[in-house]
Structure 1
Amino acid sequence: MMRRTLLPVTFVLLAWAFWASPHLSDVAAGVALFLFGMIALETGFKTFTGGTLESALRHSTDRLWKSIGFGIVTTTVMQSSTLVSLVTISFVSAEMISLAAGIGVIMGANLGTTTGAWLIAGFGLRVDIAAYAAPMLVFGVILLLNRDRILKGIGYLFLGVGFLFLGIHFMKEGFEAFQEGFDLAAYAVPGLAGVLLFTAIGMLMTVVMQSSHATLLVTIAALAAGQVTYDNALALAIGANLGSAITTAAGGMAANLGGRRLAVAHVLFNVLTAAIAILLIEQMAWAVERIAGMVGIAKDDYLLKLALFHTLFNLLGVAILAPFVRMLERELIRRVRFAPRPAEQPRYLYEDALKTPATAVTAVRREVGHLLDNAHGLIAHGLSLRRAVIDSERSLTEAVRNTRRIMPLDVDDAYEQKIKSLHSAIVAFIADVQQRRELSEHWVRRLYALQQASRDIVEAVKAMKHLHKNLARYGTAFDPMVRRHYDALRLQLARLLREIGQLRNQEPGAVTSLSLDSLKLSLETSHRSLMEKINQAIRDHHLSAHIATSLMNDEAYAYTIAENLIDAAHALLLSDEPADHLADERLALDRQEIERMASGAAERPHPGEHADEDPKAS
């Protein structure tokens, strides 16, 4: 309700302000053009990087100093701490980088955003940049009309810079015209009350405009025109820092637990930095004067002094917090928690994951992993084995042999609750990713593979439904021959579930196609061996034709379950890196090679077939 009323109220207030003071429209137009330029710049960088930002973020955050440096560099280049912060939150949410690394990037982004104040104070208001705006806009529009994605990205960058220049020009002209009829400096508030008041004003301006750069532009333009005092401008700069944390935190609340923890860390860092700056504002102003004298900034050059102050208190905040990042990470993990979602609800398909292709694909992969977890439990239950037994080191041979009854299971109900709803959510999210983002061929292939993996898991569960019906009838049969064959089917699937679980617990990137090919070879060998034993039992009249037919059908269901689970694991466990994919494709065995190898091994007994304990998975 509040959001619906806020927009018309804002329009009415602005309309009245424009009517009351025509010069205010120039200032407001400057802010609007500047914000539009920021949006165009963000769009250009998102289009132009094509995954470079994501790749750099993943490989440049293994040390705290690297994380801080990455935040400084990327924010300086992109002039958008909000974009860098939100991308970082999405990466922490997807667990692609650690929380400590994310905190480092956020601290670096706060330092990087201070370069905007230096550019505006040292260049933007001292040069007639409006003369450069028009060519930038013309070049930008020409490039934007191209179909090539890279040229379009460059076009957005040109447009962004052009609108930024134009916005700065309008702001400068607006405040100079404002000065002739109205003097805002007359409303300056001295002392601590003024610091707190103008800090709150700066924070509110940043929250409304969603950009600390825009707040700093307004502050510097007003200071240049004499519409705000130097002391109050310092407080406005502090408020801009606080406001940027609130805007990022609002975006972080749409993320999962990791993203929320980083959003909390951002707020804590900026609140700490602002508190230090407010408490020590006189000492910091003195330090600014001394440093300004040493680096050659003129005594009356308050614009550059404001930029120096902005850098100084952010640098002080980083210096104070950096030694305690690991401790902060531990406390956030311990204190910022919420109950996990039920198994039937998506856990990783959050809005914030749509920000980059890498985070979107990671979210889908983790959700397919969640779907596989649900299927793992359901299939284990269908085999009348507890999941804890399969996930442990206990003998599966003994667990299968000692089964006294087949556990009752309504597979249809379990499928509807834990499988179908998740599969539908995955399909819908993938469609949303493809609709919202322009993806490279690599990411399109990864999404298709993960969608197919989700479908494979669904097919495995459907096959389990048919297998469970006959297990309930023959799984604990009095006829030892029938019981032995069904135990072999159960043992085969239980071993596969354990082996896939062990592969999933390995370090990212450690699993190769060869690991999964060994599972396929083992499946093919077991399949041929079981079929041969069934045929031999029929020839020896140890099995009736009726029972033998059921066994053959159930062996086909077990084969389908295993094949689909291995295919799903293949899509889940292999690396997202294009180079790794190419290497795995070259190493992978095709179906004919696996069948040829299995035919040669079919006469040999399955490893551990007659052993009391299971062999260790390789």
Structure 2
Amino acid sequence: MQKNIIIFICLSILAFIVVKYQNFTVILSGIAIFIIGMFFMQDGFKQLSGGLLEKLLQKFTHNSLYAIITGFVATSIVQSSTITTLLTISFVGAELITLVQGIGVIFGSNLGSTTTAWIVSSLGIDVKISTYAFPMIVFGVILRFLKTNAMKGSGNVLLGLGFIFLGIAYMKDGFDVIKDQIDLASYAMDGYTGILLYILIGLVITIVIQSSAATLAIIITALNVESITYINALALAIGANIGTVLTAVLASLTSTQDAKRVAGSHVIFNFVTAAIITIFIYQFKDFVDFLAPYFGIAETNSGMKLALFHTIFSLVGIIVLFPFIPLIAKLLEKIIPQKISSASKPKYLSPVVLNSPDAALVAIRKETINLYENCQKAMLHALNLHTTGLTKETLKVRLNDELSIIDTNIDEIYQKNLKSLYSDIVKFSSFAQEHMFDFQHKEAGELKRAASIIVEVLKDTRDIQKNLNYYLKSRNEFIKEEYNILRKELAEILIDINTLSTLENDADQLTQLEVIKSELAQNDLASSEEIDALIREDKIKATMATSYMNDSATGYSIQKKLVEVANILFVNSDLNKDLGEVKNETK
């Protein structure tokens, strides 16, 4: 209630400013249009990347240096350090990259975010930028109506650039008018008091509009029309960098411990760097003035000097903190210890990644695998087999050992643990799909289907558990042997799927999948022939035969479903796509 009241008061004040002061309205409109442009451009780059960021983070973060370069490249591609940060949080949480690698990516993303300042400063000074905005918007709208993801993505990028250019033009016009009426530069404060005040202003602006890129666009535009002094603009840029930290921290508060650690590295980077730059701000100002001519920046071009200062800010942080990345990781792990969650609690689903499709897909996949692993453990216990050290070799020994019933209530396990986890996966996936493109939406749907099949498999196992425990203690060695074979078949396919999950090479995955499918076909045929022979030879009673036939059919259904789950969770999605296309062509 209080939050709604505060929002209402803020909106009322904003409405008063918009109505009363038209010159400020022009600037505010420019900021709003710029932010809309950033959203369109980010969506466009995400659609065009088609999982490129995910692949970059997975393949090129082997050490801290590569991680920094990857963070820089990824952020430069999508023009958003927030997206890179969310992906990093998800990947660290999903254990696809280590915390040390994640910290490196965060450091690199800070450097990558400086490219926005270079774009704004280089295009928004002497060129009449609004001239290029309208054609971009027109062609952007046209491309958005085309069918392919590449065209839609290109349309979003053009729309984004068009709105960004238009926003800069409006801000520039607004500051031009205000400068003629009110000399904001006359309110500049000298010394460190003024610097600290402007750092605070930059921080507040970034928190309010939730975009350091937009803050820097405002600063550069105001600086170009000389509405603020150069030294105060540098202080505002420092504040904007600190503001992005608070946004990341707030986003991670309700998330996983790994998310908090990644956000913590963001805090350390920006606060340490901001402290160094603030203390030596006049020396860094002189350093920028010294370097500017070597980059072809004119002495009067304060906007591009600010972009250079912003880049130096991030480079200083990387140079100073790079040797201490492992120590920072250990410190964060100590300050933010890992919580032990129950089987019913999701390990990877974090609200912070909902708006980032690539990160959300990784989280959904890892959580579905977590659901599968919990289901697998319950299944093996229901088959009276312990999971520790289970291989095909140890399985033979355990099947020959004297039977020891493991008390496993599958209904209770499902109700207390797995039902909640399954529900969380479905709920999270549904919300995440709202922000996804068609190909991502389809993948999320497949993962939800896998989760549903896993739950079906668990319930099917429950259906054969009662007969299995009963006949394994039977004096009839023939029916006992048949149920042991059923245990063996189910356990072996779980072991084979575990092997599949460890393979990364496409060819190895295909080979293992074919082995599993071949064994599945043999199991169905052998089971059918064996039971027919036992019935004909009167070695088992009719009641035993019918029970086993039903359970055998259920067991075969379980195996087929497990193969389907394995195909979705553990086989390369691109490989699956290629196989699907080949099948369609042969029909």
1:474 lines up with 2:452 in the alignment: no
Amino acid at match of 1:126: D
Structure 2 distance, partners of 1:361, 1:557, is: 31
Q: Tell me: CA distance 1:493–1:244, structure 2 relative to 1, closer, same or farther (3 Å).
A: same
Matches within 5 A, 1:216-235: 216-235=216-235
> Identity percentage over the alignment?
36
Q: Is the 8 A contact 1:293 1:299 kept in 2?
A: yes
- 1:140 is displaced (CA, Å) by 3.3
Structure 2 distance, partners of 1:471, 1:19, is: 77
Matches within 5 A, 1:321-336: 321-333=321-333, 335-336=335-336
Q: Is the 8 A contact 1:114 1:307 kept in 2?
A: yes
Matches within 5 A, 1:411-490: 411-440=410-439, 443=440, 446-490=443-487
Structure 2 distance, partners of 1:454, 1:267, is: 37
- 1:173 is displaced (CA, Å) by 2.5
TM-score scaled by length of structure 1: 0.83
Q: Is the 8 A contact 1:384 1:403 kept in 2?
A: no
Q: Is the 8 A contact 2:348 2:367 kept in 1?
A: yes
- The one of 507, 510, 513 equivalent to 2:510 is 513
Structure 2 distance, partners of 1:501, 1:243, is: 45
Q: Tell me: CA distance 1:367–1:24, structure 2 relative to 1, closer, same or farther (3 Å).
A: same
CA-atom RMSD in angstroms: 3.4
- Tell which structure's C-alpha radius of gyration is larger: 1
- Counterpart position of 1:167: 167
- Counterpart position of 2:365: 365
1:582 lines up with 2:581 in the alignment: no
Q: Tell me: CA distance 1:504–1:331, structure 2 relative to 1, closer, same or farther (3 Å).
A: farther
5+ residue gaps, structure 2: none
- 1:300 is displaced (CA, Å) by 4.8
Structure 1 distance, partners of 2:252, 2:103, is: 13
Structure 2 distance, partners of 1:454, 1:127, is: 54
Q: Deviations along 1:313-342, whole A, 9 cap, x unmatched?
A: 221111122233344344444543442432
- Counterpart position of 1:243: 243
- Counterpart position of 1:290: 290
1:400 lines up with 2:399 in the alignment: yes
Q: Tell me: CA distance 1:424–1:112, structure 2 relative to 1, closer, same or farther (3 Å).
A: closer
Q: Tell me: CA distance 1:208–1:536, structure 2 relative to 1, closer, same or farther (3 Å).
A: same
Structure 1 distance, partners of 2:549, 2:223, is: 85
5+ residue gaps, structure 1: 591-618
Q: Tell me: CA distance 1:517–1:201, structure 2 relative to 1, closer, same or farther (3 Å).
A: same
Q: Tell me: CA distance 1:446–1:179, structure 2 relative to 1, closer, same or farther (3 Å).
A: closer
- 1:238 is displaced (CA, Å) by 0.5
- 1:262 is paired with a residue whose SS is helix
- 1:15 is displaced (CA, Å) by 3.5
Q: Is the 8 A contact 1:72 1:112 kept in 2?
A: yes
Structure 1 distance, partners of 2:404, 2:87, is: 52
Q: Tell me: CA distance 1:528–1:268, structure 2 relative to 1, closer, same or farther (3 Å).
A: same
Q: Is the 8 A contact 1:125 1:168 kept in 2?
A: no
- 1:204 is displaced (CA, Å) by 1.0
1:303 lines up with 2:308 in the alignment: no
1:571 lines up with 2:568 in the alignment: yes
- Counterpart position of 1:271: 271
Deviating more after overlay: 516-525 vs 207-216: 516-525
Deviating more after overlay: 457-466 vs 55-64: 55-64
- 1:530 is displaced (CA, Å) by 4.8
- 1:284 is displaced (CA, Å) by 1.5
- 1:570 is paired with a residue whose SS is helix
Q: Deviations along 1:71-117, whole A, 9 cap, x unmatched?
A: 43444454433334334444444444444443333323322332333
- 1:512 is paired with a residue whose SS is helix
Q: Tell me: CA distance 1:70–1:370, structure 2 relative to 1, closer, same or farther (3 Å).
A: closer
Q: Is the 8 A contact 1:38 1:164 kept in 2?
A: yes
Structure 1 distance, partners of 2:199, 2:570, is: 50
Matches within 5 A, 1:54-65: 54-65=54-65
Q: Is the 8 A contact 1:89 1:102 kept in 2?
A: yes
Structure 2 distance, partners of 1:525, 1:493, is: 13
Q: Tell me: CA distance 1:324–1:529, structure 2 relative to 1, closer, same or farther (3 Å).
A: same
Q: Is the 8 A contact 2:355 2:432 kept in 1?
A: no
Q: Is the 8 A contact 2:357 2:435 kept in 1?
A: no
Structure 1 distance, partners of 2:551, 2:412, is: 21
- Counterpart position of 2:281: 281
Aligned length: 584
